[in-house]
Structure 1
Amino acid sequence: MEHAEFKYDALKTARLPERLIFGHRPLVLLLFTLATLFLAYQAYQIKPDASFAKLVPQTHPFIQKMNEHMRDLRAAGVSLKVSVAVREGDIFNDEYLATLSQISDEIFYIPGVDKNGLKSIWSPDVRWTMVTEDGFDMGSVIPPDYDGSKESLEQLRLNLNRSGIIGSMVANDFKSTIIEVPIYDTDPTTGEQLNYLEFSRNLEKLVRQSYESENISIHIIGFPKLIGDLLEGIGAIFIFAAVTLLITFVLLYVYTRDLRATFVPLFCSILAVIWQLGLLRLAGYGLNAYSILVPFLVLAIGVSHGVQVINAVALQLGDRGHRLIATRLAFRGLYIAGMTALISDGIGFITLLVIDIGVIQELGIAASIGVASIILTNLVLLPVIISYTSMSKAGVKHMKVDPNRRHKLWSLVSLCATPKVAAISLLVGLAGYGVGIWGGQKMQIGDLDSGAPELRPDSRYNLDNSFITSNYAVSSDILVVMVETPLQACGLYRNIRLIDKFDWYMENVPGVQSVISPADVVRMTATALNEGNARWETLSRRQRVIDGGLANVPRSLMNLDCSLAMVVLFLDDHKAETLERITDEVQSFQQRFGNDQIHFALAAGNAGVEAATNEEIAVAQSQILTLVYTVVAALVFLSFRSLVAVICIILPLGMTSALCQALMAQLDIGIKVATLPVVALGVGVGVDYGIYIFSRLSFYLRRGLPMREAYYLALTTTGRAVAFTGFALGIGVVTWILSPIKYQADMGMLLTFMFLWNMVGALWLLPALATFLIRPTKIPGRATGAAEPAPAEYHQPPGNAKTEG
């Protein structure tokens, strides 16, 4: 009778969302089952998605200029290098050359290869040129009558020395050669994007596994191989997912001591991941090497909110005993705060759309869809399931708060809400801000490591990159400057002379190894036409002489109508400092010497693309920080109608962000495509802690409890769930540190730091701020739900309240 009476009272005060959900529970379960089956089928069909275009800021002037001239930029296209090396001896043996020819033919037929641009020393267009008494003599590097004999091999050696490709296509020690492989990022006939994972696997299977032997080693570098290796790392990510699930299950069981309360939130969080993947597939998206991390983040967020529901249900069961009523009251007390927290998460992730880089935008979309899924699976489905399964008496007893017994840990933590400790906490927090701001000034934009910073230094790709850069004279970091002129004007004396001046100017910029331009070819031709006399290595004022030299300029340095010339800069590295210095010098030269007849435009090549990306990230970094904090603060204000709530919840987040930047500087982790989203992810998730804590704190303050006692009760209810979720979130991503993908390891380290410190800030700094800012007559609490009844034992301060408070 008591339960029926109480149920009637609860129904009278129920709001529309509660009545709709709990008044139609079977229908809710049916709809969720059908939706899950449909979305699981869609998730099963989701595919890896990797595109060169999505990794670069398409609206940046550098990229727009590169796209404008892409047809003429053979040096700027997506390509890779395959180095075939001998461990013993040199390349001048028939066995090596036969293997090189077979590998070249094998690569030729791999889908995605631009067959017209494939080059090796076997290619007919790889030629040698020599000046003789009778004029020019030239031919293919591989002699037409090559038969593998000693004489043919000696002729090959001679031809290579004449060709000028030693150091670029042939190693300086004659122990390896390079096959240059241009790639179609998009198939020109079908319009389909290249499947980088399949392409990389074809290279491994058809080339490396088939031809590598005791004396032959194969080394492959380039954007397609890099993306393929990153996608291969997904297998390791799934291992971490399994480990994370196991650890989370154990932690949940230790927290709840109930298998039902352990399985249900984990099950609903997994459903959120399935929904996210299915909705991504329906929206036309795949999983790229960056957004593949989001499902595991969604799982961790789902578990954190699920724990809040389980915690509230357990407390209500301890008071009411009736599972449906307890679940409804738990839902009533949490859904507004939970919705506020999750909407803050989602909008925080949506702010990533302001960054004009496709993979970051898709990461933000994937995370937002995941959060929307959590709202349904963990705030709607989970309470409905729990209303049927309930919890065991042992679990409820374990989680029940005894009002007559002080919990030592939470009693100690509640000291943070006393004036003396709060004052010290604020001083420590201010010092934390100072350390973060000071240390963050050393944080850099872009990559700080050589090779492919997305992978670990000892990865196969970076070892291959190290081999090629140490055995060839040409750097793998290339920046292409596009010299625009009117039609048939790039070879005019005044223009070619300015290109030559630019060539010399850039060679003297620190960070530039060497420069190749059409002016170099014209000067070398002049030397060759004058019996190789070095004194003639200059630019003639006679246009006909220059025109003769332009006839030898390759397409990679000049287009057919002579309206575009390319100056190729080979750089020491692709660090942000190097790229910034070089692009500044190019722009300075353009401002000083450019005119309406010639324009030095940036930029193409892998280094040019990275320079554009760095500039975009440098701008986006401050935009993201400003936008995400503005949006989150606005949502908190709308929920609590209180500036005090905004200050108490946002300031601890700001300290964590500042300290995270200092940590990045200390660990030599730059702000780049992989780490920039950490700001939005960390703030979006971290705000949950503060919202839940402040919601319960204001709930008890409105009932007349003193600050410390109100905070103690907030700790014993939602606070312990916040502490648990902080550790659960941290453990959910800390396993990423072991990933073979370095940027995932970096994200794991930074997210672990932010999740844990946001939790510490909510439990330590938030009550300190509240102690001095909240006035008894102006206690905020709109987000708690006006109709929420307090548990019976909390209608008055528990015993010891006076002595402890």
Structure 2
Amino acid sequence: MGSKISDGFKTIASLADFDRQSGNVLERILFNNRAVFITLCLLLTVLFSASAGQLRLNASFLKTIPTSHPFILNYFAHEDELKGVANTLRIAVAVKGEGTIFDDGYMETLRKINDEVYLAPGVDRAFMKSLWTPTTRWQGVTESGFDGGPVIPDGFRGSAQDMEVLRGNIELSGEIGQLVALDFRSSIIHVPLLDTDPATGKTLDYKQLSDILESIRTRYQQEGVDIHIIGFAKVMGDLISGLYAVLAFFAAAVCITTLILLYFTRCWRSTLVVQGCTLVGVIWLLGMLPMLGYELNPYSILVPFLVYAIGVSHGAQKMNGIMQDIGRGTHKLIAARYTFRRLFAAGITALLADAVGFAVLTIVDIPVIKELAIIASIGVALLVLTNLALLPITLSYTGVSRRAASRRLAAEQARHQAGYRPGKVIRVLDRFTQVRYASLALVVALVVGVWAVLEARHLQVGDLDPGAPELRADSRYNQDNAFIIGNYQASSDVFVIMVETPAGQCVNYATLRLVEELEWRLRQLPGVDSTNSIAGVARRVNVGMNEGLLKWNELPPNQPMINAAANRSPRELFNETCELLSVYVYLKDHKAQTLNGVVEVTEAFSEEFSSDQARFLMAAGNAGIESATNIVVKTANTQMVIGVYLAVSLLCLLAFRSWRATVCAILPLMLTTFLAEALMVKLGMGLKVATLPVVALGVGIGVDYALYIISVMLFWLKRGSSLAEAYSYALSFTGRVVVFTGITLSLGVVTWIVSPIKFQADMGLLLTFMFLCNMLVALVLVPALACFLLQPRHFSKAEPEEPGEREEQPVARAAGVAIKQEAHA
């Protein structure tokens, strides 16, 4: 029992024979004060559990947009003058069965709905608009000149005569196709929202607002109407409602992982400890967020899944080492200290690689992604305590099943006995250390990589589908969106161009002529439905001033006539000081191609015609803001990929102290990145806020595979082993764990594919692909690259094997020491 192992670790069955002061300072502090540390962790768990109950799941419109982009800065500069063009709801109230809106029952129901929505939290009431609001007006030409008033006049009682008046007013209002459907079978309530609820001073609760709207829908659809609701707030509300179902996915992930762990260890005791410590890390993360002022949103809700999957994979490695030592007869406390001593450096390095993938996301100028990066980094940092420290300390009390430990040790010892024949999978993988098979693998990888790069060039930025691509195509929201698009000329996708002029000069004839020219160019685009500005109003007024003759449908080269038209124009078309003119561009959809076309035309026009008298600026409206987001995402994707690879490369250089080993680790990751982008093209996914983090997450987590394999290979190559022997040792020691990690991570996210939330399903599919692909390319391409870059001749001959030698890389030494223990046990 007390025989000395060649690496300095002894098989010690009694604590009396163990030096409690051995190991580094951190080990002594933790293991010599185990009870104190576990008690502290229990207290923190109770504290964070109570705090987690205060965690809110919400969204913020301002956090989903790039607040420092020029488009958004232009919008913020005129936000008070552009109410109702960004975060808005459109509620269509439609007649059921036959009939039109000119019915007293329909109008009364519309009034009730209008009043309830008016009182809902977060509504910008001054700018709300429907047939029942006084801001909806008609204007017409009579024998006495221009006349006008509210569409629903005072004294409206719903009689047949009132309905005739209402029909006439609507026809003169210009709202057909805007607030009233082309077939007169529905009308719109236009609801601008404030991002902060003025009643509470807090961020608008989109889940609460969505629930109120659903209550209105449920109650009033029993009164002979159908209600269709679209807008950012409703999308977020539906996402939040759907994301409450993630608890079921989390439970499924826990069950699946438990079964895999149990199969891997054949020990219930250690399986429950790994699961418990990992879940403690997740609880700490959820409890810490309210203390730091963070909320979970539809994008960051996925982070606890990733933290859990990462924690289980690292916990399994610690448990594996303890199980092997106990199988040799080592006391459970000593086995836990040995494992901590051997693998703490490797675990820290691996978790650092994960954290780098998350941290690089902070360069993306979108608050919701920055929050995701911060939350994920906190989660990974907590795993250092729960899975690298708490787990081995807990196992030092509970131990593992002696039968499972003996079975694992017997399997490990068999690999080092004479005449041992490795399994078929290992024999196949070993071939990639031979020049013939390595060359074939690299050629195939090169061909696949070239195809992926060419395919990835077709990756589009932004949404590729109408409606809300975050939700399923058959979701209630997308059905509502299809109804509104099919019945109204003015779509819900509005791009607003701001024209700045000197004070009092916004309606000058020369300026309006430029506006007309810009509108004409934009209407030639296939994605543009219509446009609206004061120039168009001036044309219509000119017709009215000339007895309604359409030949006068022209912008009059007469400033007094234009000024008269401006007096009759809606206030949203220009501001009070007449130094800002708004051009509304109504789009057929918000697809990437549509937005790109509008931006390109407007940008070219602005460069050609902007002057001190008129500056054409982009962009407001929900489509304008989304176009800014697309631009930022496209730029950030390039910066993020470069940043994450530079950071991971630097990490590998520090860990391996070898540029050759770094190349072997990085090139397989790059292949997976290109393949993931090609997969997005094939699946019709756009690069957007929801999918942007996937590459960074996949690279940061995927480098773990190469890290563990190359570390062991380097250890043995430096001691004169052949490449085939070094890789065989790596497969025997870490190959099983690499496969386990890849499968665990994949199964932790693959359940997302059946989520009712499409963007969660997309992320689940992409992450599953990246985790599995990273695992496979690490097992195949790392030895293939090593065949040409990491031969024994590239290293000095047999180095000393004392466990305290300082010149070894920390990861290689940690993994290699464990290998030696297995070989000589």
TM-score tier by shorter-chain length is: over 0.9
The one-letter code of the counterpart of 1:682 is G
- Matched letter for residue 383 of structure 1: P
Aligned pair partner of 2:813 in 785, 795, 802: 785
Residue 397 of structure 1 and its aligned partner are, at CA, apart by 3.2
Report the equivalent of 2:475.
Answer: 459
* Compared CA separation, residues 333 and 701, structure 1 to 2 (3 A): farther
Tell me what 1:360 maps to.
369
CA contact (8 A) 2:717 2:791 kept: no
* Cα pair 1:50 1:288 within 8 Å, conserved: yes
Matches within 5 A, 1:599-748: 599-748=615-764
Q: Which residue of 1 aligns with 2:6?
A: none
2:261 counterpart residue number: 252
* 1:314 CA displacement: 2.0
Q: 2:579 is matched with which residue: 545, 548, 563? A: 563
Please tell me whether the aligned partners of residues 121 and 199 of structure 2 are also in contact (alpha carbons under 8 angstroms). no
Aligned-pair identity in percent equals: 46
Contact 2:58 2:207 in 1 (8 A): no
In the alignment, what sits opposite 1:429? 445
Contact 1:337 1:695 in 2 (8 A): no
The 2-side partners of 1:762 and 1:12 are apart by 39
Structure 2 counterparts to residues 372-451 of structure 1, below 5 A: 372-400=381-409, 401=412, 402-403=414-415, 404=417, 405-408=420-423, 409-451=425-467
Partner deviation per Cα, 1:68-115 (whole Å, 9 max, x = no partner): 000000242421011111121221211111111111111111111122
CA distance 1:316–1:419, change in 2 (3 Å): farther
Which position in structure 2 is the counterpart of 1:73?
82
* Counterpart residue type for residue 334 of structure 2: I
- Does structure 2 retain, via aligned residues, the 8 Å contact 1:737–1:746? yes
Distance 1:411 1:319, change over 3 A: farther
Alignment size in residue pairs: 796
User: How far off is 1:499 after superposition?
Assistant: 1.8
RMSD (Å), alpha carbons? 2.0
Map 1:759-774 to 2 at 5 A: 759-774=775-790
Further displaced range: 778-787 or 307-316 = 778-787
- Higher mean alpha-carbon deviation, 307-316 vs 2-11, is at 2-11
Compared with structure 1, are the counterparts of its residues 789 and 123 closer, same or farther at alpha carbon in structure 2 (3 Å cutoff)? closer
Q: In 1, distance between residues paired with 2:112 and 2:511?
A: 44
2:302 is equivalent to residue 293 of structure 1 = yes
Shift of 1:423: 2.3
AA in 1 matched with 2:705? Y
Task: Rate the CA distance shift 1:467–1:62 in 2: closer, same or farther, 3 A.
Answer: same
Cα shift readout 1:413-448 (whole Å, capped 9, x = no counterpart): 333333332222222222232222121111111111
String of CA shifts for 1:229-287, please: whole Å, max 9, x gaps: 11111122111111111111111111111101211111111111111122222221110
TM-score of the two chains, using structure 2 as the length reference? 0.93
Structure 2: gaps of 5 or more residues:
3-10, 797-807
Aligned: 1:109 with 2:119: yes
1:133-172 per-residue CA deviation (whole Å, 9 max, x = no partner) reads 1112323222433322222222222222222211111111
User: 1: CA distance between counterparts of 2:185 and 2:698?
Assistant: 49
Deviates more, 1:438-447 or 1:491-500: 491-500
Give the SS at the match of 1:122. Answer: coil
Distance apart, 1:623 and its partner CA: 0.4
- The residue type paired with residue 274 of structure 1 is I
* 2:5 corresponds to: none
Q: 1:188 Cα deviation (Å)?
A: 4.3
Choose the corresponding residue for 1:157, options 167, 173, 189. 167
- The answer (yes or no) to whether the contact 1:13–1:787 under 8 Å persists in 2 is no
Structure 1 position 332 matched with structure 2 position 326? no
Supply the AA of the counterpart residue of 1:541.
P
Q: Structure 1 residues 389-398 or 192-201, which shifts more? A: 389-398
Residue 230 (structure 1) aligned with residue 239 (structure 2): yes
1:504 to 520, 537, 540: 520
Alpha-carbon distance, 1:794 to partner: 4.4
Q: Residue 27 of structure 1 aligns with which residue? A: 36
**Which residue in 1 is equivalent to 2:105?**
95
Question: Which residue in 1 is equivalent to 2:141?
Answer: 131
Give the Cα separation in 2 of the matches to 1:143 and 1:562. Answer: 30
Alpha-carbon contact 1:640-1:783 (below 8 Å) kept:
yes
Code of the aligned partner of 2:269: R
Give the Cα separation in 1 of the matches to 2:27 and 2:551.
90
1:40 to 2:56 alignment: no
Q: What are the superposed Cα offsets for residues 338-371 of structure 1, whole Å, 9 maximum, x if unpaired?
A: 1111011112211111110011101111110110
Question: Which is further off, 503-512 or 557-566?
Answer: 503-512
Q: Distance in 2 between matches of 1:346 and 1:134?
A: 74
How many angstroms does 1:46 deviate by?
A: 1.1
1:801 is matched with none
Q: Which amino acid aligns with 1:773?
A: L
Whole-angstrom distance in 2 between the partners of 1:581 and 1:98 = 43
Whether 2:206 is the aligned partner of 1:196: answer yes
Partner of 2:805: none
Equivalents in 2 of 1:790, 1:577: separation in Å? Answer: 55
Which residue identity is paired with 2:201?
G
Q: Residue 46 of structure 1: SS of its match in structure 2? A: coil
Structure 2 distance, partners of 1:5, 1:168, is 82
Shift of residue 789, structure 1, vs aligned partner: 4.1
Higher mean Cα deviation, 248-257 or 411-420?
Answer: 411-420
Task: Tell me the SS of whatever aligns to 1:568.
Answer: strand
C-alpha separation in 2, matches of 1:596 and 1:582: 23
Aligned to 1:543, which of 556, 559, 577? Answer: 559
Residue 49 (str. 1) matches residue 50 (str. 2):
no
Q: Is this contact kept in 2: 1:479–1:605, CA < 8 A? A: yes
- Mapped partners of 1:632, 1:240: distance in 2: 31
1:315-330 to structure 2, matched below 5 A, reads 315-330=324-339
- AA aligned opposite 2:706: G
